[in-house]
Amino acid sequence: MCAYSLYPVIVDWIPGLPQIPYRGGVGRWEGVVMHQTASPGDTARSERMYESRTYANAFVHEFIDPNEIIQVANPMYLAYGAGPVANPRFIHLELCSNRTADEFARSFDRWCQRAAVFLSMRGLGVTPALPDGTGTLWSHYDVSRYLGGTDHSDPIDYIQSWGKSWQDVVQTVQFHYNAITGGGDMPALSVKMRTKLSLSCPLPIMRRACPLRRRSSIAWRTLCAGLPGSRSSKGAGLVIFVVAADAIAHRFYSTRGVIAKRIFCMLGASG
């Protein structure tokens, strides 16, 4: 049986983005909204460049193409992705346009896995959006018809043009969610960074537990931002370290009497 793994994520936050907490507080998103760019020939890199000039009007957390996942905004804070009702609640993931069926398949799987990662980080499960405003997995179209504040209908028409339905999205996200949370060791997250990082542990975890010293067989690589006590390079507020945890990652980890609060902010593959 092949080992399950997570796609690499490039963390390249756009400078100057607002840092507004979700309605439940910093890092407390309630679900994920799935978007599509409707820009033929685009890539995650080109969308990041465009959004760096236009973020005052709109921005999302990540762009996904067949080859790369680029996180352009800190997921601990809301993005301007789907109007004033949805933005304080949800992570926003944007699927780039594709030229071939193979490109679409690769992009689609990455896109769905990223949704599963963010849902698993908060233990939210995978439940489709409902008219009463509940649910954890939303299309932009769902936001338009159930919450308002926007009139977009993506990504429905786009994924249908490649033979996929919204139910296919739900099922694929559920597959990845189960793979991430369903027993055994958490997979190691492979994260490609374009920001400078501090490699010191930001929490009072014993140095022997630091990734620079040891990697646990039940650990996954976590990328955290803005944690108290972190020493970042040029204010990036980023630290990579490994934390041993159970598969669900919702409990506390204790090493030699030192408690590290839930560190499953996997911002960049994440969090």
The structure tokens listed for 269 are: 């593959």
Name the least confident of 5-9, 97-101, 264-268: 264-268
pLDDT of residue 2: 63
pLDDT beyond 70 at 37: yes
pLDDT of residue 251: 33
pLDDT in tens, 70-109: 999 999 999 999 999 999 999 999 999 999 999 999 999 9
Average pLDDT, the chain: 76
Between the CA of residue 259 and those of 40, 209, 210, 253, what are the distances in Å? 49, 12, 14, 6
Greatest distance between any 2 Cα atoms in the chain: 55
Question: Which one has a higher pLDDT value, 28 or 212?
Answer: 28
Helices (H), 125-262: 140-142, 156-161, 166-181
**Percent of the chain predicted with pLDDT > 70:** 66
The answer to whether the predicted template modeling score (pTM) of the entire model surpasses 0.75 is: no
Do 142 and 131 meet the contact criterion of CB atoms below 8 Å apart? no
Between the CA of residue 81 and those of 4, 57, 96, 138, what are the distances in Å? 30, 9, 15, 12
pLDDT of residue 59: 98
All domains of the chain, ordered by start, with CATH?
A: 9-181 (3.40.80.10), 191-260 (no CATH)
